[in-house]
């Protein structure tokens, strides 16, 4: 594993981190969940990413990971970076979503109980709340850190301008914003185009990119149809109708380039994400341990030359 410095902080994160958004719900198979996490840790993935609402039902991924921590990683807490978030709908009534101090702190307390932890390493505001003063949401992150319930503060899905403002507020409070977590992959390049990378890196933050494989679209998963059990057949966030003919055509062309580089499509997609300067870590998901092995293999050949990057851009442009 390669470990990268997170922005201007002292924290090193693995170039590949594992997220538990999918496959860790109450309906999941605990033996498989444990095997995925153990494989990740054995390969040097020290960072596990959660949120209050991961499941289904919401909260169950934190529950599952709490159990795994207890069974498999009890002796390794100080070798792990565990994050959670609050921002999306978690419970009914006026205090169960967005960015109020009430929600942010109540949710963190709930997450710690589910995880069976005294503190998380990174606590995120999961999304920008246009109706709550940013000072209040950032104040809640600062409080989480000062009270010892989190070691670092982060933001996710924040647009460029709010990113800069959040950084200024947190700096004044004495809790610098560690990291931004946007979605970024070959098919979804908004953070690069809309200035989020620039705002984050100029503010001293690291960047961890979620869905680097576009939920599996940038792998060999859908090259020959839509297999039963794949995310497009079971997930609510990736629909079968997103696997279009033009998309598959592009991914086949990208896959040919990956093969010429001696790697899999998933490995080249991860290498592409990591080739963008402010990126600290690519935050993958996995439904089985073999996918983790595949992802980590990306680091054997993570450098993309200018000519290869140009070919990728051309293929993506169609
Ligand atoms: P990816 O883009 O890495 O997609 C993961 C999925 O791709 C897997 O579940 C699997 O799907 C498929 N896959 C993975 N590796 C391979 C491989 N080697 N070969 C073939 N298929 C593969 O990431 P996710 O969309 O899962 O997101 C990752 C994490 O990012 C989340 O768990 C979460 O922590 C974070 N996240 C944060 C958000 C935020 O708002 N901050 C929003 C979304 C995610 P299959 O089931 O078909 O096998």
82-125: pLDDT as tens digits: 999 999 999 999 999 999 999 999 999 999 999 999 999 999 99
> pLDDT tens digits, residue range 258-292?
999 999 999 999 999 999 999 999 999 999 999 99
- At 253 the pLDDT is 98
- pLDDT value, residue 197: 98
pLDDT digits (tens, 9 = 90+) for 6-46: 999 999 999 999 999 999 999 889 999 999 999 999 999 99
Q: Which of 66, 55, 34, 29 is nearest to 229 (CA)?
A: 29
Span from the CA of 23 to the centroid of ligand 1 (angstroms) = 9
Q: What is the pLDDT of residue 235?
A: 75
Mutate to test the pocket of ligand 1, among 48, 127, 213, 294 (most ligand atoms within 8 A of CB): 213
Which domains are seen in the chain, by residue range? 3-216+267-303 (3.20.20.100)
pTM: 0.98
- 267 CB near ligand 1 (under 6 Å): no
Tell me, what's the pLDDT at 173? 98
Strand partners, 19: 49
Residue 284 Cα, ligand 1 centroid: separation in angstroms? Answer: 5
Query: Does the beta carbon of 110 sit less than 6 angstroms from any atom of ligand 1?
Result: no
In this predicted structure, what is the pLDDT of residue 133? Answer: 98
Best mutation site among 180, 286, 294 for ligand 1 pocket (most ligand atoms within 8 Å of CB): 286
Question: What's the mean pLDDT in 200-208?
Answer: 98
Sign of CA dihedral 281, 81, 160, 191: positive
What is the per-residue pLDDT for 318? 87
The burial class, CB within 10 Å (0-12 / 13-18 / 19+), for 67 is middle
195 upstream amide cis, omega within 30 of 0: no
Q: Which of 23, 207, 285 to mutate to test the pocket of ligand 1 (most atoms within 8 A of CB)?
A: 285
The fraction of the chain above a pLDDT of 90, given in percent, is 98
Q: Per-residue confidence at 53, pLDDT binned at 50, 70, 90?
A: very high
**For the segment 228-256, what is each residue's pLDDT rounded down to a tens digit?**
999 999 978 999 999 999 999 999 999 99
């Amino acid at each position: 594993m390669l470990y990268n410095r997170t922005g201007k902080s002292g924290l090193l994160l693995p170039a590949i981190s594992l997220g538990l958004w999918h496959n860790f719900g109450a309906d999941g198979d605990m033996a498989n969940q444990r095997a995925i996490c153990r494989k990740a840790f054995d390969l040097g993935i020290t960072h596990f990413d959660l949120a209050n609402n991961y499941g289904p039902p919401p909260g169950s991924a934190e529950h599952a990971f709490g159990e795994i921590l207890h069974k498999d990683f009890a002796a390794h807490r100080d070798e792990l970076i565990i994050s959670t978030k609050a921002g999306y709908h978690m419970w009914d009534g006026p205090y169960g979503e967005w960015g109020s101090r009430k929600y942010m702190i109540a949710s963190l307390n709930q997450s710690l109980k589910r995880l069976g932890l005294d503190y998380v390493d990174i606590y995120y505001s999961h999304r920008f709340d246009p109706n709550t003063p940013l000072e209040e949401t950032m104040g809640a992150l600062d409080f989480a850190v000062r009270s010892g319930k989190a070691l670092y503060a982060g933001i996710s899905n924040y647009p460029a301008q709010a990113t800069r403002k959040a950084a200024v507020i947190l700096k004044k409070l004495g809790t610098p914003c560690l990291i931004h977590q946007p979605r970024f992959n070959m098919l979804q390049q908004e953070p690069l185009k809309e200035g989020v990378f620039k705002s984050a890196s100029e503010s001293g933050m690291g960047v961890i990119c979620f869905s680097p494989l576009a939920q599996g679209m940038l792998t060999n998963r859908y090259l020959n149809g839509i297999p039963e059990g794949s995310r497009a057949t079971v997930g609510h966030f990736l629909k079968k109708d997103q696997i279009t003919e033009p998309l598959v055509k592009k991914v086949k062309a990208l896959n040919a380039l990956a093969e010429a580089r001696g790697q899999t499509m998933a490995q080249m997609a991860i290498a592409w994400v990591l080739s963008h300067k402010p990126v600290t870590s690519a935050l993958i998901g996995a439904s089985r341990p073999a996918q983790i092995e595949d992802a980590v293999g990306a680091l054997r050949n993570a450098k993309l030359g200018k000519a290869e990057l140009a070919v990728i851009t051309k293929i993506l442009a169609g």
